[in-house]
Amino acid sequence: MKRILLSTVCVAVLGLAAAAVEPAQAQDQGSVEVLHWWTSGGEAAAVGVLKQDMESKGVAWQDMPVAGGAGEAAMTALRARVTSGNPPTAAQLLGMSLRAWAEEGYLGDLTEVAEPEGWDSVIPEPLQAFAKYDGHYVAAPVNIHRPNWLWSNAKIFEENGLTPPKTWDEFNQVAEALQAKGIQPLAHGGQNWQDTTVFDDVVLGIGGPEFYQKAIIEADPEALGSDTMVKVFDQMRKIRGFVDPNFSGRDWNLATAMVLNGEAAMQLMGDWAKGEIIAAGKTPGVDILCTPAPGTEGSFLFNTDFFAMFDVGEERRPAQLIMASAAMSPSFQETFNLAKGSIPARTDVPGDKFDECGKQSMADIKAAQEKGTLMGSLAHGHAQPPAVQGAMFDVVTNHFNSDQSSADAAKALVDAVAAAQ
Ligand code: GAL
């Protein structure tokens, strides 16, 4: 008994000693400089999880946040850094721009961690298609976001005897009913990527998954210029009428705050909005309802945030590999995604800690993958290369902010895509 006690004490003391020296050892692991655009309340909470994780492993975190939803400003800052020969250790990238950086030869090789950790068996194939280049991993996927969500203020809906709309016709009816009562139907921020987030929903909701596949993923000119696309722009024009006069340039998280505060009834936005709901101390699925964007039930648009690892040379590489491994660990993916609003990129993370909306995302992505209705988001960089995506953004935003006819907008889409390809 004594011996057991003694050895327990010894182990405890040794453990304490080890803990005491750990910070000194830990400090030795170098540092990572990480470029990202996670600056809203929910986003910052999520990136804080990664920073803490790295610091606990003795890797110093040099933060390089570049504000601006969906990362347009961040991409400009990144290009400036890389072309001046001084890339950050890692950068948050969406699928198509990740691929473009890989093709340009700027990214490192993560085989050293990806192979022993068995990434291939836990990362879904559609994500591997972006995370790997030339047969090896160049990036770590940290989440799966779903952009095709509608967020509704439960109290407003209840008080007005309404339920979240399931089709675009229902959406128009609900929005008109709210408007008649002096309630702002839709919170929206007029920025090209936010306009296109809505556009993605309308293309999918009105045209269906096959049409989305043809028009958005394949950029098929016939689909882009079709009558269905004209109907899509008709609906975009309707939506414009449900938005308040101050929408121009508004950040997405301020639009989310409008729904949270009851200043507007709904927002069409990806589930990073859920990060804001959580950061505000509200319960997703209870205070703010989550339903698939009208007409998109059964389909899952996705975007994933990858940490692309740049070729930074031997000295900075060990810390980079620690970060890649940390970003892929199941416990990190759970904690991070609980704050971020997304679901883990790994398939083996249990869903029990996730809220109702997260659980729905997990179930819906499985069903969509089986049905072939899991598709990349145009607005969030998983459908078209940056040049074509940019051309489509311009057409969508120009139409939204002018009195251009739907037929002219559809024609402009065909021309802009052809010119950018
Ligand atoms: C997305 C990104 C999300 C979120 C959002 C708004 O493109 O994948 O993580 O940050 O932009 O900034």
Q: What's residue 208's pLDDT?
A: 98
- The Å distance, Cα 393 to ligand 1 centre, comes to 16
Check pocket membership of 69 for ligand 1, CB cut-off 6 A.
Answer: yes
> How remote is the C-alpha of 73 from its chain's centroid?
16
Q: Are residues 55 and 89 in the same domain?
A: yes
- pTM for the full predicted model: 0.93
Q: Which amino acid is at 50?
A: L
Q: Are residues 205 and 95 in the same domain?
A: no
Q: Assess contact for 253 and 276: CB atoms under 8 A.
A: yes
Question: Do 63 and 32 sit in the same domain of this protein?
Answer: yes
Q: Is 271 in the pocket of ligand 1 (CB under 6 A)?
A: no
Q: Whose CA is nearest to atom 5 of ligand 1?
A: 70
Is residue 178 domain-shared with residue 133, that is, in the same domain? no
Q: Do 287 and 309 have their domain in common?
A: no
Please give the distance, rounded to the nearest whole angstrom, from the Cα atom of residue 300 to the centre of ligand 1.
16
Give the pLDDT score at 28: 84
Integer Cα distance of 389 and 66 in angstroms: 21
| Mean pLDDT (10-residue bins), the chain, 421 residues | 38 41 64 98 97 96 97 97 97 98 98 98 97 98 98 98 98 98 98 98 98 98 98 98 98 98 98 98 98 98 98 97 98 98 97 98 98 98 98 98 98 98 96
CATH number of domain containing 45? 3.40.190.10
Together in a domain, 192 and 287: yes
* Domain identity same for 307 and 295: no
Co-location of 138 and 159 in the same domain: no
Contact 289, 114 (CB under 8 A): no
Q: For the chain, how many residues are written?
A: 421
Quick one: 249 and 389 in the same domain?
A: yes
- Domain membership of residue 364 (yes or no) is no
| Cβ 145 under 6 angstroms from ligand 1 | yes
Q: What percent of the chain has pLDDT above 90?
A: 93
| Residue 366 resides in a domain | no
Tell whether ligand 1 has an atom less than 6 A from the beta carbon of residue 247: no
pLDDT for 22: 47
Domain boundary among 357, 382, 397: 357
In a domain, 362, yes or no: no
* Residue 213 Cβ contacting ligand 1 at under 6 Å: no
Q: Please tell me whether residues 226 and 295 are part of one structural domain.
A: yes
Cβ of residue 306 lying under 6 Å from some atom of ligand 1: no
Rounded to an integer, what distance in angstroms lies between the CA atom of residue 344 and that of residue 293?
21
194 and 282 in a single domain? The answer is yes
- Asked, for residue 199, whether it belongs to a domain, the answer is yes
> Token pair 């556009």 is at which residue?
199
Whether 363 maps to a domain, the answer reads: no
pLDDT in tens, 167-211: 999 999 999 999 999 999 999 999 999 999 999 999 999 999 999
User: 410 near 230, Cβ under 8 Å?
Assistant: yes
- Residue 403 in domain: yes
Question: Which pLDDT does position 26 carry in this prediction?
Answer: 61
367 within a domain of the structure (yes/no) = no
Structural domain includes residue 113: yes
Ligand 1: centre distance to CA 43 (Å): 8
What residue numbers bound the domain in which 20 lies?
8-145+302-357
Quick one: 189 and 69 in the same domain?
Answer: no
- As for how many domains the chain has, the answer is 2
